[in-house]
Structure 1
Amino acid sequence: MALTGAEPPKDYESLIRLIHERHDRMSKTYQQISVYLTQNPNDVAVQSVNAIAERCGIHASSFVRFAQSLGYKGFKELQLLFQKRLSTAAPGFEARVKALEEELQGREDASDYGFLRDLVVRDIASLQSLLDDIPPESLASAADLLHKAEVVYLLGQLRSAPVVELLRYVFTMLGKRCVLLDSGGGLATHMARTITERDLLLAVSFRFYANEVVNIVEEAGARKVPIVAVSDSTLSPLAKSARVLFAVPEHDYSFSRSLAAPMCLVQALAVALASRVQRDDTPRIPTVTGT
Structure 2
Amino acid sequence: MDAVKPATPPRDYEELIRLIHDRHDHMSKTYQRISVFLTQNPNDVAVQSVNSIAERCGIHASSFVRFAQALGYKGFKELQALFQKRLATAAPGFEARIKALESELHTSGDRSETGFLSDLVVRDIASLQELLRDIRQDDLARAASLLHEADTIYLIGQMRSLPVVELMRYQLTMIGKRCILLDSAGGISTYIARTITPRDVLMAVSFRFYAKEVVDITEELGAKGIDIVAISDSTLSPLAKSARVLFPVPEHDYTFSRSLAAPMCLAQALVVAVAARVQHNDTAPRIPTVTGV
2:287 is the alignment partner of 1:285? yes
Structure 1 stretches (4+) deviating beyond 6 angstroms? none
CA contact (8 A) 2:107 2:119 kept: no
Alpha-carbon distance in 2 for matches of 1:106, 1:173: 39
Of 97-106 and 139-148, deviating more is 97-106
The structure-2 alpha-carbon separation of the partners of 1:106 and 1:181, relative to structure 1 and needing over 3 Å to count, comes to closer
Q: Displacement, 1:97? A: 4.8
Alpha-carbon distance in 2 for matches of 1:117, 1:36: 26
SS of match in other structure, 1:249: coil
Partner of 1:149: 150
Q: Displacement, 1:98? A: 2.9
Partner of 1:89: 90
The structure-2 alpha-carbon separation of the partners of 1:196 and 1:150, relative to structure 1 and needing over 3 Å to count, comes to same
Alpha-carbon distance in 2 for matches of 1:11, 1:253: 31
Within 5 Å, give how 1:32-43 maps onto structure 2.
32-43=33-44
SS of match in other structure, 2:78: helix
Partner of 1:57: 58
SS of match in other structure, 2:156: strand
Q: Displacement, 1:106? A: 7.9
Partner of 1:100: 98
Q: Displacement, 1:108? A: 2.3
Alpha-carbon distance in 1 for matches of 2:89, 2:99: 20
Q: Displacement, 1:74? A: 1.3
Root-mean-square deviation (CA, aligned residues, Å) is 1.7
> TM-score scaled by structure 2?
0.94
Mark the runs of 5 or more structure 2 residues left unpaired by the alignment: none
SS of match in other structure, 1:42: helix
2:208 is the alignment partner of 1:207? yes
CA contact (8 A) 2:157 2:205 kept: yes
Partner of 2:47: 46
Aligned length in residues: 288
Alpha-carbon distance in 1 for matches of 2:129, 2:109: 25
Partner of 2:130: 129
The structure-2 alpha-carbon separation of the partners of 1:2 and 1:11, relative to structure 1 and needing over 3 Å to count, comes to farther
Partner of 1:243: 244
What CA deviation, in whole Å up to 9, does each residue of 1:171-192 have, x standing for no partner? 0000001100011111111111
| Matched residue type, 1:285 | I
> TM-score scaled by structure 1?
0.95
Mark the runs of 5 or more structure 1 residues left unpaired by the alignment: none
Of 166-175 and 132-141, deviating more is 132-141
Alpha-carbon distance in 1 for matches of 2:110, 2:66: 39
What CA deviation, in whole Å up to 9, does each residue of 1:119-153 have, x standing for no partner? 10011010000121111111111011111111000
Q: Displacement, 1:45? A: 1.7
SS of match in other structure, 1:241: coil
